[in-house]
C-alpha cells in the first residue's frame, strides 16, 4: 500500500478561533477532496491518499520547506490565483523550484474547478428556490469562457448564487451566498473528476503523479 499525502490550501488552521461549525465544514472540505481525487485513481487497493488541509498557501509552503512533513510521496495542491501562464512565476515566487515536480495548482483557484461544471452547481442547490430559469451554463458570467480564464472565480461563483438561488428559513427569504468554509464542500462533492482532468492539465498531472507512485514503490 502506497500512502500519498496532499497538502491542500484551504480549510482552517488547528489553532484558529473559528466556530465549531467552521471546523466541521473544514473537515467536510477535506473529505470532499479525498472523495473527488480518489475517484481518479487507477487502483485504490494500492494507493491511500490523505488530504492535509493547511488553511493558507504560506502554511503549505512552510510545510514543504521544513522537510518535516515532506517525502517523495508528499504533494502540494495550491490556488494559482492567476491563469496558467502564471504557473512558473508562482513556483519561483514561492521558492519551490526544487519541489516543482511535487507542486500542483488549482487554476485559477478551487472555485475555477466548480465554475467549469455549472451542472454541478445546479445539482448542489436543487432543493433551493431557483429565482431564474436560465441555465447557469448560459449565464453571461460563464458562457463562452474557458474556466481557466475567469479571474476571481470565488466572486463570480458568489454572484451566480446570489442571482440564482434563495432560501426561506424562519419565514425570512435570504439569497444564497458562497463561502469556502460554508458550502464549498457540497459543490466539490458534485464534481466529475474525469471532466476536471480534461479541462485542467494540473488535475491530470496530479492524478498521474499519484498513480505513478505505485509503479515506483
Instruction: Mark whether 105 and 205 lie in a shared domain.
Output: yes
Asked whether the whole model's pTM tops 0.75, one would answer yes
pLDDT the model gives residue 199? 96
Query: Total structural domains in the chain?
Result: 2
Complete edge-to-edge strand list for the sheet that includes strand 165-169: 129-130, 165-169, 172-175
Vertex 166, ends 185 and 134: CA angle to 5°? 90
In this structure, the answer to whether residues 97 and 53 fall within a common structural domain is yes
Q: Are residues 131 and 212 both part of a single domain? A: no
Structural domain harbouring 123: 112-179
Question: In the chain, pLDDT over 90 holds for what percent of residues?
Answer: 82
Q: What is the pLDDT of residues 101-146, one digit of tens each?
A: 999 999 999 999 999 999 999 999 999 999 999 999 999 999 999 9
90 and 193 belong to one structural domain = yes
- Which tens digits make up the pLDDT trace of 144-203? 999 999 999 999 999 999 999 999 888 899 999 999 999 999 999 999 999 999 999 999
Query: Please, are residues 157 and 178 in contact by the beta-carbon 8 Å criterion?
Result: yes
The three cell numbers of residue 121 are 452547481
pLDDT of residue 173: 94
Same domain, 49 and 130: no
- Residues 93 and 194 grouped into a single domain: yes
Do residue 122 and residue 91 come from a single domain? no
HEC secondary structure over the chain: CEEEEEEECCCCCCCCCCCHHHHHHHHHHHHHHHHHHHCCCCCCCCEEEEEEECCCHHHHHHHHHHCCCCCCCEEEEEECCCCHHHHHHHHHHCCCHHHHHHEEEECCCHHHHHHCCHHHHHHHCCCCEECCCCCHHHCCCCCCCCHHHCCCHHHHHHHHHHHHEEEEECCEEEECCCCCCCCHHHHHHCCCHHHHHHHCHHHHHHHHHHHHHHHHC
In terms of domains, do 42 and 64 share one?
Answer: yes
Q: 44 pLDDT band (50/70/90 cuts)?
A: confident
Q: Are 34 and 134 part of one and the same domain?
A: no
Amino acid at each position: 500500500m502506497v500512502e500519498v499525502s496532499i497538502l491542500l490550501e484551504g480549510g482552517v488552521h488547528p489553532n484558529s478561533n473559528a466556530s465549531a461549525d467552521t471546523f466541521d465544514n473544514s473537515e467536510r472540505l477535506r473529505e470532499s477532496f479525498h472523495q473527488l481525487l480518489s475517484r481518479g485513481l487507477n487502483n485504490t487497493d494500492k494507493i491511500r491518499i490523505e488530504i492535509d488541509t493547511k488553511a493558507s498557501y504560506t502554511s503549505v509552503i512552510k510545510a514543504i520547506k521544513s522537510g518535516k512533513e515532506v517525502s517523495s510521496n508528499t504533494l502540494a495542491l495550491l490556488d494559482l490565483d492567476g491563469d496558467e501562464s502564471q504557473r512558473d512565476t508562482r513556483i519561483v515566487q514561492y521558492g519551490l523550484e526544487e519541489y516543482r515536480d511535487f507542486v500542483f495548482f488549482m487554476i485559477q483557484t478551487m472555485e475555477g474547478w466548480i465554475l467549469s461544471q455549472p451542472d454541478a452547481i445546479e445539482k448542489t442547490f436543487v432543493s433551493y428556490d431557483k429565482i431564474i430559469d436560465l441555465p447557469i451554463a448560459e449565464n453571461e458570467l460563464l458562457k463562452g469562457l474557458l474556466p481557466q480564464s475567469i479571474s476571481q472565480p470565488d466572486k463570480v461563483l458568489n454572484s451566480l448564487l446570489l442571482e440564482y438561488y434563495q432560501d426561506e428559513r424562519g419565514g425570512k427569504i435570504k439569497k444564497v451566498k458562497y463561502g469556502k468554509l460554508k458550502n464549498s464542500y457540497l459543490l466539490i462533492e458534485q464534481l466529475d473528476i474525469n471532466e476536471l482532468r480534461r479541462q485542467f492539465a494540473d488535475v491530470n498531472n496530479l492524478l498521474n503523479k499519484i498513480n505513478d507512485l505505485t509503479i515506483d514503490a
